[in-house]
Structure 1
Amino acid sequence: MRPDGITAETGFPEASNGSYSSGTSKTALNGQSAANGNSHTNGSKPPHSSTYYGHNREEVTRILIQSLHELGYTSSAERLSSESGFELETSGVATFRSAVLGGRWVEAERILIQSFRNAGSQPDQDPLPEETLVLAADADRNAMLFHLRQQKFLELLEERDLAAALGVLRQELTPLNFDVERLHALSSLLMCPTELLHDQAGWEGPVSSSRERLLGKLSESISPSVMIPQHRLAILLDHVKSTQINNCLYHNTAESPSLYSDHMCDRNDFPLEVNVDLNHHSDEVWYCEFSHDGSKLVTAGKDHNVLIYDTTDFSVLHQLTDHEKGVAFASWSPDDTKLITCSQDNKARVWSVESGRCLLSVNHHRQPVTAAAWAADGESFVIGSLDAESQLRHWSIGGQAIHAWKGGYRVQDCAISADGRRLVAADTEAKIHVYNLLTHEEDYCLPLPSKPTSVAISQDSRHVLINLAEGEIQLVDMETTSVVRRFKGQKQGEFVIRSTFGGAAENFIVSGSEDSKVYIWHKENGNLVETLEGHIAGCVNSISWNTTNPGMFASAGDDNTVRIWSRNCNRPRPGPAPRSRVPSNGVTQTSALRTTTFGF
């Protein structure tokens, strides 16, 4: 037991029966207290209204009791339970909780099965056994048993007790005839090495944490009148904060709003002004990206050049000139020590960021190399190309081919999720392909309404952002493949325009546009936050938001410049004077001169 009274295994205070209950008063199985829902420790009616500012008094009190236990204030929780006459949960729930968290699967199943048998009984006519749960209306017996037995199966696999695990699979899970697809996935884990078990099973954390998640899953099928969902007050407070953030158009901080007052960010703190113009490219700039630590910025363009800047003063650290044609993409390694560049010369190159030296040249493709993505460990990477015979390959850092995906399509862009599990490839034929990077197998292929020009995956690995040629950006749930939100307003149709996540906690979606502007939307409510006059002429091709400084982002455009946007305009401009943005023929440059149409 920890000094604060919370057990290490469950995260809840210890009690002799595994319950939160103080034992000083009883609650009926329907969640109401014994004396008409208003019992008091001295038997008299509490001198209180039945509501608390319009909220159910019992619900508020029981949630407070739960929260006090979770905060470690056990004595205060028991005092509140005693004084209010409201018990947190029934003895049946307490026993069930203890059985699940303790891995006593036979006992947990017995309580579940008994609860389903007695589900139709009326408590006032046929008293239920103490160890009985009040189930939700949509509770599914086989589903709940499947989740319990799946946990038992996975724990046996982790212990390498394969014989017992096989027995659970054949004799306990299979007869339920529930979620056959998941059952097949579980059977494949029997030959899975222990070190890969958690990733393959989607089973994160130690056993104690996974049992907590199991209990939370099972609680969805138990009436909240007898078993309040875990961490209910924290969840309610999260909802409050999320609502405030969603209603705050310029919320650009990773700090959580205070509960003491309503929250609203000041527009003046948002990066809306150009602080620095970088004019080192001699032609269209097609790509820009900040390093993960925010200390550097890479830019690449039609002039064959790749530039690496120090973001403290935006001085040029390296100018990489080995490519023979325009460079359309660059990608930082997870530790920012290496950089991959992708070019229309059909090559990808890996560079040392410290020295600026080329470490590896990939000459395998016969068409332009369009994109690259690093594996989470930084020991390998994937390259995408318009070469339909070799459109997607997985390479080791030493230059050895690990895997080549078949399919005969052309890749416009690709990205790997931060958790290292998924690879997304944008097909020029209006599709995205989602692969399991660990097994190299395709999870699914998602058709799109038009050609994708870029893909980006959120840091939590839950969503993929797809920029479409028809002028729409879609935020897609990677698990369900459903479109969560659509963003419109930017101009697109002919060229490769990139969009990405931006701001603190990725609160925004930001995109370039063919009308020389930068568009910023609120990710959660979909509202257009700002339309910025981005560049003098042509397209704004790429945007990158500094992940360590939410008050800064960069845009790359056809006017040969990279612009640094900031909420602080006091930083001095770099040394070289800006070049004229009018070509020698005296005609203003427009997007019609572009050649970065790639697969279009």
Structure 2
Amino acid sequence: MRSDETSRGIVSNGYSASPTHHAPRKGVVSVNGHSPHLNGSTHPLKNGTSRRKGPRSPLYRGHNREELTRILIQGLKDMGYEDSADTLSSESGYELESSEVATFRAAILSGKWSQAERILSGYYQDDGGGGSAEQGIVLAEHANKDQMLFWIRKQKFLELLVRRDLLSALKVLREELTPLHRDTYQLHSLSGLLMCTQAELQTQLHWPEDPEDARQRLLEDLTSSIAPSVMIRDHRLAELLDHVKRAQINGCLYHNTSEPPSLYSDHECSPQAFPSSTYMILEQHSGEVYCVAFSPDGTKLATAGEDKVCIIYDSKRFQVLHKLHKHNAAITHIAWSPDSKRIVTAAAEPNAYVWDASLGKLLMTIAHQTGEHRPVTSAAWTPDSEKLITGCHDRDAKMCLWDLKSQDPKTPLHTWKGEFRVSDLAVTPDGHRLICNDMDETLIIYDLDSAREEFRLKLSSKITCITASHDSRTIIVNIAEGEVHMFDLEQRRLIRKFKAENQGGTIIRNCFGGAAENFVLSGSKDGRIYIWHKENSAVIAKLQEHGKGSKNEQCVTSVSWNPMNSGMFASGGDDRKVRIWTNTLPDESSTEFDPRIRHPDLGRLSAIRTTASNL
């Protein structure tokens, strides 16, 4: 029966957890020519040869034959084709892993920590009492064996903690982890976990329900420190194919589909499928538009601005559903709950308001009750849609966490105080991180579970907007000097820059766009919408249709991509208008065509064409 790659009987690289399954076949060549003491098996033939058809070239169309064959063997096992993998291994003479490496893998996944350490250090004897490798498993050039031992013993410590075997865990901490002298700060953090309850441990560690998942993560870390010629990284064939598809997507400027490209042929999307035409112009606002935001389910659009009103439209015909009146100042921020049922609005005043988006009913007033009475500047929801965080210019309560289900929802669950004033914030969709910025040039990243600061990033200019990606790995920020910067939260560094003409100190709200977030969008003070390819930073389009406002400026202040319609986004500007951009034009004969909403010239050419000369 064909096995499934998620089956408990199959572990990393498609192997059975039994070490005896991995004993090298008689007559199979060693891994990259290593001797038996270096994790390979012996064979009189050289690598790249066949025992059946005579010598073959060590290269296949310029690629290393041994590397390719071993990766194919791993891939076949991943897909459940065990017999085919065995046949390929037998015919080619290449074995995926030595028995020692396979036993190491099985020891990690089964929690046999002492055995894993002996193999790593070179003191392992097989079941028959035979010899052992003098140097242990061959490591990558950058690897540190003590660090790998620390990872193994840390896993052992954490599993004992989760099982509430505190005495054994304390012994591991004192007698096994501390003597390695690796990371004093982490040792202190681990010792602090001894005082945590079971629930607190699960929250702080993000511990999976199945301990095998945690061990699999440990194995991935260890594999990165082992020589790839000895232990191929898990699912390497799939990883290489992902690289191929990603390269095709990156090379396609207008790729806007969640469907991955086929491996059968090269991929290219037509510019005509890109949303670059104004589909509708919404003119309900009497003042400058500062915010536009589609709901996460894509069914509604919210807009707000200088006229102190938040308007909610349906996103099919863009008819007005509700007008939310409560603020006494211009609305500068709106945020949808992840379940699309509620929306929070903030203005240049100390109160924020939570609304029922379906009924247009006020649910809750949020007040930062401190002496400064500074305006609430921003808000973001947690993934459960039951809690939200508000940012403020008040140093005594720069951010507050609110629980809408609490018996006292008007009292914050937690308050971050001091040091600086928050002008914008975002919560990653996975709920693990809170990102905010001060009034100057610094990003601060918190662990949301513990409410503790993780790290800071200093920028070269004032920050005006923060947006997190759906995968929670990256954020984009607008800065005053006229750029959008992308940061990797895991690597804690700037990875890309997108250059616009002008942003100045104006708050301009950016967004990711496209079916797979392949694009980055931002408005600008020059009246243009800039759209970049996320991976290569190329400018795809500069769309300029917003006009000047009452102050003789034509800033595009906010953009939002419909998360459920890859061919639609919205923009708002100083001209008091909201524009809906699509890759189609409205059909006057359609029952959905509403003559009360302004439509542009139906014969207008794509803005992609008209702006091509400016790219």
Could you say whether these structures have the same fold, taking a TM-score greater than 0.5 normalized by the shorter chain as the test? yes
Answer whether contact 2:49 2:55 (CA < 8 A) is retained: no
Residue in 2 that maps onto 1:377: 384
Aligned residue runs from structure 1 range 15-54, under 5 A: 17-20=19-22, 23-28=25-30, 30-31=32-33, 34-38=43-47, 43=51, 46=54, 48-54=56-62
Q: Do residues 486 (structure 1) and 512 (structure 2) align?
A: no
Of 268, 272, 291, 2:272 maps to 268
**Deviation of residue 217 (structure 1)?**
1.5
Residue in 2 that maps onto 1:413: 424
Answer whether contact 2:52 2:91 (CA < 8 A) is retained: no
Answer whether contact 2:48 2:65 (CA < 8 A) is retained: no
The residue matched to 1:233 in structure 2 has which SS? Answer: helix
Inter-CA distance 36–130: structure 2 relative to 1 (3 Å threshold): farther
Answer whether contact 1:276 1:564 (CA < 8 A) is retained: yes
**Structure 1, 476-485 or 507-516: larger mean CA deviation:** 476-485
Q: Once the two structures are superposed, what CA deviation does each residue of 1:196-234 show, in whole Å capped at 9, x if it has no partner?
A: 434422544622122222222112222222222211111
Of 453, 462, 469, 1:458 maps to 469
Inter-CA distance 569–87: structure 2 relative to 1 (3 Å threshold): same
The residue matched to 1:77 in structure 2 has which SS? Answer: helix
The residue matched to 1:100 in structure 2 has which SS? Answer: helix
Structure 2 gaps of 5+ residues are: 35-41, 126-130, 549-553, 600-615
Answer whether contact 2:527 2:546 (CA < 8 A) is retained: yes
Q: Once the two structures are superposed, what CA deviation does each residue of 1:443-477 show, in whole Å capped at 9, x if it has no partner?
A: 23332212111111111222221111111111112
**Structure 1, 339-348 or 388-397: larger mean CA deviation:** 388-397
Aligned residues: 569
Residue in 2 that maps onto 1:502: 513
Answer whether contact 1:31 1:225 (CA < 8 A) is retained: no
Residue in 2 that maps onto 1:240: 244
1:229 is aligned with what amino acid? Answer: R
**Structure 1, 293-302 or 392-401: larger mean CA deviation:** 392-401
Q: Once the two structures are superposed, what CA deviation does each residue of 1:509-543 show, in whole Å capped at 9, x if it has no partner?
A: 10011011100111111111111114122110001
Aligned residue runs from structure 1 range 63-142, under 5 A: 63-114=71-122, 129=133, 132-142=136-146
**% identical aligned pairs:** 46
Inter-CA distance 385–136: structure 2 relative to 1 (3 Å threshold): closer
**Deviation of residue 47 (structure 1)?**
5.1
Q: TM-score by structure 1 length? A: 0.89
Aligned residue runs from structure 1 range 320-399, under 5 A: 320-364=324-368, 366-397=373-404, 398-399=409-410
Answer whether contact 2:122 2:132 (CA < 8 A) is retained: no
CA distance in structure 1 between the aligned counterparts of 2:389 and 2:379, rounded to whole angstroms: 5
The residue matched to 1:241 in structure 2 has which SS? Answer: helix
**Deviation of residue 551 (structure 1)?**
0.8
Residue in 1 that maps onto 2:563: 547
Q: Once the two structures are superposed, what CA deviation does each residue of 1:384-406 show, in whole Å capped at 9, x if it has no partner?
A: 12234433222221222112211
Inter-CA distance 464–224: structure 2 relative to 1 (3 Å threshold): same
**Structure 1, 319-328 or 443-452: larger mean CA deviation:** 443-452
Answer whether contact 2:254 2:269 (CA < 8 A) is retained: yes
CA distance in structure 1 between the aligned counterparts of 2:323 and 2:57, rounded to whole angstroms: 73
Inter-CA distance 577–298: structure 2 relative to 1 (3 Å threshold): closer
Residue in 2 that maps onto 1:144: 148
2:82 is aligned with what amino acid? Answer: T
CA distance in structure 2 between the aligned counterparts of 1:219 and 1:408, rounded to whole angstroms: 42
CA distance in structure 2 between the aligned counterparts of 1:491 and 1:300, rounded to whole angstroms: 23
**Deviation of residue 133 (structure 1)?**
2.1
**Deviation of residue 381 (structure 1)?**
1.0
Answer whether contact 2:153 2:172 (CA < 8 A) is retained: yes
Inter-CA distance 62–444: structure 2 relative to 1 (3 Å threshold): closer
Q: Do residues 525 (structure 1) and 541 (structure 2) align?
A: no
Inter-CA distance 30–299: structure 2 relative to 1 (3 Å threshold): same
Inter-CA distance 381–44: structure 2 relative to 1 (3 Å threshold): closer
CA distance in structure 2 between the aligned counterparts of 1:414 and 1:129, rounded to whole angstroms: 54
Residue in 2 that maps onto 1:123: none
Inter-CA distance 160–63: structure 2 relative to 1 (3 Å threshold): same
**Deviation of residue 180 (structure 1)?**
2.3
**Deviation of residue 315 (structure 1)?**
0.8
Answer whether contact 1:31 1:226 (CA < 8 A) is retained: no
The residue matched to 1:411 in structure 2 has which SS? Answer: coil
**Structure 1, 438-447 or 101-110: larger mean CA deviation:** 438-447
1:493 is aligned with what amino acid? Answer: G
Q: Once the two structures are superposed, what CA deviation does each residue of 1:125-178 show, in whole Å capped at 9, x if it has no partner?
A: xx9649942222333110110111111111112212111111111111111111
**Deviation of residue 22 (structure 1)?**
6.4
1:183 is aligned with what amino acid? Answer: L
CA distance in structure 2 between the aligned counterparts of 1:301 and 1:541, rounded to whole angstroms: 10
The residue matched to 2:359 in structure 1 has which SS? Answer: coil
CA distance in structure 1 between the aligned counterparts of 2:570 and 2:147, rounded to whole angstroms: 49
Q: Once the two structures are superposed, what CA deviation does each residue of 1:368-425 show, in whole Å capped at 9, x if it has no partner?
A: 2211111222222111122344332222212221122112422211111111121112
Q: Do residues 576 (structure 1) and 596 (structure 2) align?
A: yes
CA distance in structure 1 between the aligned counterparts of 2:221 and 2:333, rounded to whole angstroms: 43
Answer whether contact 1:68 1:74 (CA < 8 A) is retained: yes
Answer whether contact 1:348 1:363 (CA < 8 A) is retained: yes
1:17 is aligned with what amino acid? Answer: P
CA distance in structure 1 between the aligned counterparts of 2:444 and 2:49, rounded to whole angstroms: 61
CA distance in structure 2 between the aligned counterparts of 1:16 and 1:110, rounded to whole angstroms: 18
**Structure 1, 219-228 or 161-170: larger mean CA deviation:** 219-228
2:60 is aligned with what amino acid? Answer: Y
Q: Once the two structures are superposed, what CA deviation does each residue of 1:3-49 show, in whole Å capped at 9, x if it has no partner?
A: 559751543343753555662433325446723424867x5663533
CA distance in structure 1 between the aligned counterparts of 2:2 and 2:177, rounded to whole angstroms: 36
Residue in 1 that maps onto 2:607: none
Residue in 2 that maps onto 1:296: 300
Answer whether contact 2:29 2:44 (CA < 8 A) is retained: no
The residue matched to 1:167 in structure 2 has which SS? Answer: helix
Answer whether contact 1:10 1:212 (CA < 8 A) is retained: no
The residue matched to 1:491 in structure 2 has which SS? Answer: coil
CA distance in structure 2 between the aligned counterparts of 1:18 and 1:337, rounded to whole angstroms: 55
Residue in 2 that maps onto 1:562: 578
**Deviation of residue 52 (structure 1)?**
1.2
Inter-CA distance 208–265: structure 2 relative to 1 (3 Å threshold): same
The residue matched to 2:437 in structure 1 has which SS? Answer: strand
The residue matched to 2:111 in structure 1 has which SS? Answer: coil
CA distance in structure 2 between the aligned counterparts of 1:532 and 1:6, rounded to whole angstroms: 46
Q: Do residues 511 (structure 1) and 522 (structure 2) align?
A: yes
CA distance in structure 2 between the aligned counterparts of 1:481 and 1:38, rounded to whole angstroms: 41
Inter-CA distance 58–292: structure 2 relative to 1 (3 Å threshold): same
1:274 is aligned with what amino acid? Answer: T
**Deviation of residue 441 (structure 1)?**
2.0
1:218 is aligned with what amino acid? Answer: L
CA distance in structure 2 between the aligned counterparts of 1:322 and 1:16, rounded to whole angstroms: 66
Inter-CA distance 391–6: structure 2 relative to 1 (3 Å threshold): closer
Answer whether contact 2:483 2:497 (CA < 8 A) is retained: yes
Answer whether contact 2:571 2:579 (CA < 8 A) is retained: yes
Q: Do residues 437 (structure 1) and 458 (structure 2) align?
A: no
CA distance in structure 1 between the aligned counterparts of 2:194 and 2:430, rounded to whole angstroms: 23
Residue in 1 that maps onto 2:183: 179
